[in-house]
Each structure stands twice: as structure tokens, then as C-alpha cells.
Amino acid sequence: MADLIQVRGFEEAVRPAVRQRRARLTDPPGQIAQPRPDMTPRSRLGRIARRVPEVMVKITGRTRDSGHLQNHLAYIGRNGKLPLEGPDEERIQSPADVGRLVGDWMAEVEADPRRRKDSAVSLSIVLSMPPGTDPFRMHDASRAFAGQTFGDSHPYVFAFHTDERHPHVHLTVRTLGHDGRKLNPRKADLEEWRQAFAAALRDRGIEAEATPRRTRGVVRKAEQGGLRRIRSRFSHGQGEPPNVDVAAVREALDKARKTPWVEAGRARQADVRRYFAAQALALARSDRGEDRELGAALAAFVKDMPPVRTRGEVISEKIDLREQLEEDGKRIGERLRQR
């Protein structure tokens, strides 16, 4: 395929909001990561323009003692109904086998002279894809991702769940590595895991991408489960409202106040959109059909990007709409009384 007609700004548009140098988990000494053909700018722009599914890799918690670990493994294994898979496709399913695994992990963890009483025993990670993803291929991709990421360094087991709309994997990794090193990932590590999981899916014929929110035109963060529960309790008259909701209402009521982080985010989003628009225009002028096709897809992608609005701005619009409806109602009432 011919080289891409490229304008400046691609790296900034797809760069995650973390410093990759701060990743704790890197390639083993002497190994150099080879560039993948599916990570060229043309390939990534094509997936972005097509809005292929985005992978989710999320740390959901940590276990801190044998009982906690036992309960967690029973939960992800549905109390023995699902097998737990380990390295080399090892399968652990019966309560007795799970108990032996917990005992083996705890024996090594407790033998570590540097261990603190409250330190984590394992890390809980969820790998997820949208509904409709081929479960067999995703299962195989998850197996490959776990082996490539942790197989040489940390013991792990995982369970593949298809009992919800979106297929997902619960991956449990022992924090104490084979060489005594602790697993303590940073945000940059999570970003590398997202890229690795997306690559494993693509290797098995599932279109997948791992881009930051701003690349897709999304400004607001996804809501956490805990936040939804707090909001639900408050709506039923129990407890206090979430702090983020209080801050959003204050922002909506104080329209003159400008927050630096909101303005900075808006500026970053404007830069991303300008890049995609410029790249689409450059490709549209090419004499190659594949370039013009990609340019048209990028132009449509920019056109369909969601508006840049904070939660406070959304609330403010609702307040303005309610006030306008009340005002319209008063005027209609006046006219009816005059008749």
C-alpha cells in the first residue's frame, strides 16, 4: 500500500493522557518491541474513522488475605460452574483445586520478608468488549494477552463470562512475581495493556482499537459504578449527592466562572478536530482512490463528533430550558385568561 499523505498532528491526536515513560512494566532486558503493521498511521486512522469497538481494560480491585482471595475466585468462577484458566491453559474448577491454588499463592506471599500486613495479594482486572463480539475469538485473545503480559512474571488465573450482554474476562494476577517483584501498575501500564489486548483481538480477526477519549471527541469521563450507586441512593432520599454532581450544579449556576481545566480540555479537543479535518482535506486531494476514500471517512467522522460539553453545561442547558418552558407557560396562561 502506498505511503499515507500525512499532515502534522497524528501523534498528538492519538497520544494517551499519560506519560508512557512512567510505565513500570516494560519489555524484558534485551527485547525490543517490533513495530506492528496494524499500528501504522493509515491503519489506525482507518479504524478510528470506522469507529471500530474500543477495548476496555480496567483494574477493579485487590484482594488482601486468603479469605478475600478465596471469595473472589469463587465469584469469578461462579462457585465452580466456570473453570479458572491459568498459564499453559491450566484449568482449575473444583472448590478443592481453587483452595489449593489460594494456599499455594498465600504460602509464597507470606514468605516474602518485605510484605506488609495490609499489602495486596492479587490484582483484579477486567477485559471487556461491546455486545456482539465473537466470544470464541475474544476468549482466545484474552488467553494470549494474559500469557504475553504476565506469563513470564506473575502467576494468574482468569474466567471468561458470557452471561451478560458484553463478553468480559475477570483476570486475577498475584502481585508477588516469580522474581520477587511486586505488581504495582500505573496509568501508563494500563494504556500499554489496552494496546496489547486490542492487538491480540485484531490478530484473531476482531476489529478493535484503544484510543483515548479525546481522539473520539469524548470530553466527559465514563461514570463509575460507585458513582451511579451514590446517585441512585440520593435520588431515593438516602445519603448525600455525589461531589461531582454538586460541582456540576455550581458550574451550571455560575456561568461567568471559567475553570482552567475545562478550557484546557476544550482547547485540546479543538486541536484534535483540526487535525482530523486537515488530514481529511489532504487525503481528499490525492490522486489515489484509497486516500480519497479514507479522507471521506475521516470527514464524516469529524462531522459526527459529539459536541464538546461538560456536565455543568448540560445541566445549565436543562435549567435554561426549564425556565423557558415556565415562561412560555405563563404567557400562554395570560392569553387564555384574556379570551
Higher pLDDT, 41 or 233: 41
Which DSSP string do the residues of 247-296 spell out, in sequence order? HHHHHHH-TT---HHHHHHHHHHHHHHHHHHHHHHHHHT-SSHHHHHHHH
The answer to whether the beta carbons of residues 84 and 139 sit under 8 Å apart is no
Which tens digit of pLDDT belongs to each residue from 46-99? Answer: 999 999 999 999 999 999 999 999 999 999 999 999 999 999 888 999 999 999
The answer to whether the beta carbons of residues 201 and 129 sit under 8 Å apart is yes
Q: Is the dihedral of CA 110, 114, 115, 121 positive or negative?
A: negative
Provide the mean pLDDT of the chain. 84
Cβ-based neighbours of 98, under 8 Å, separated by 6 or more = 70, 73, 74, 77, 80, 84, 92
- Helix, strand, or coil here: 39? helix
Distance CA 231, CA 228 (A): 5
The answer to whether the beta carbons of residues 69 and 103 sit under 8 Å apart is no
- Structure confidence at residue 246 (pLDDT): 62
DSSP conformational letter for 28: P
Distance CA 266, CA 219 (A): 8
Which tens digit of pLDDT belongs to each residue from 132-191? Answer: 999 999 999 999 999 999 999 999 999 999 988 899 999 999 999 999 999 999 999 999
